[in-house]
Amino acid sequence: MNREILVNVRQLVRTYREGNSERAVLNRLDLQVERGECVALLGRSGCGKSTLLNLLAGIDLPDAGEIVIGQHPLHALSERDRTLFRRRHIGFVYQFFNLIPTLTVAENIGLPLALNGSLQQDIDRRVNHLLNEIGLLGREGDFPDRLSGGEQQRVAVARSLIHQPALILADEPTGNLDAETGAHVLKLLAALSRTHSGSLLIVTHSLAVADSADRVLTLKDGRLSQAREQVAW
């Protein structure tokens, strides 16, 4: 059975200037991610993992190559169109949660929908649904500083999924949590992204995190290689 390719990256190049020379962090990199697939990305610090995520999100542009997500050629879009694409089709989960401290739990989760102009009644309905799924129903009025680290990351997971993005990008999502809490958050992220039909790309240093993925890739010398096949979730 043919599987739909959601992410199609071809011959991607990204260089940075170091003194009088240039270093190719990504060197003619190719990547394909199927719709609904979870891919873990391993690699040493500084090898370009976060650079790749920023390019996939349309935050930065490559020096050469193509990035197509669905039918959208990110490499050819204007900055404004990339921003609109990101708001509608990309979800983020970061290591340090990145919750807005002056917004409540409900407001943090609902922020992507608010930025996309959704009606407040629709935002409230979807926020309550996700609060129930992450086990924080009743905490919607709390501010982030009232939550534990694991609870904050669960809120971040809900925020990344509320607009039902095609692609969820997670940058070391368990790196700031203890092993038990991290495993719980990771299981939640994987289950919810699959439930909402999103593809998931996880950047991690953790082999335990990688073990939850369908596929594990290693970034080295600017290119990706497959570490091993995983059993699907």
**Predicted structure pTM score:** 0.87
| Domain segments of the chain as ranges | 37-61+79-229
What is the structure's pLDDT at 47?
Answer: 87
Taking alpha carbons only, the member of 158, 157, 164, 29 closest to residue 95 is 157
**pLDDT tens sequence for the chain (233 residues):** 557 899 999 999 999 887 778 888 999 999 999 988 999 999 888 889 989 999 999 999 999 999 999 989 999 999 999 999 999 999 988 878 889 999 999 999 999 999 999 999 999 999 999 999 888 999 999 999 999 988 998 899 999 989 989 999 998 887 777 877 777 777 778 777 777 677 999 998 777 777 878 899 999 989 999 875 544 43
Calpha distance 29→193 (Å, rounded): 26
Contact indicator for 93, 156 with CB cutoff of 8 Å: yes
Q: Distances in Å between the alpha carbon of 42 and those of 73, 81, 91, 100?
A: 25, 30, 20, 29
- Reference 154, options 169, 125, 132; nearest CA is 132
- Per-residue tokens: 174: 């368990």
- CA 69, CA 79: separation in Å to the nearest integer? 16
CA atoms within 13 Å, Cβ hemisphere of 191:
10
CATH architecture of 37-61+79-229: 3-Layer(aba) Sandwich (3.40)
Q: Distance between CA atoms of 98 and 86, rounded to whole angstroms?
A: 17
Tell me what pLDDT residue 228 has. Answer: 55
Q: What confidence tens digit (pLDDT) does each residue in 188-214 have?
A: 787 777 776 779 999 987 777 778 788
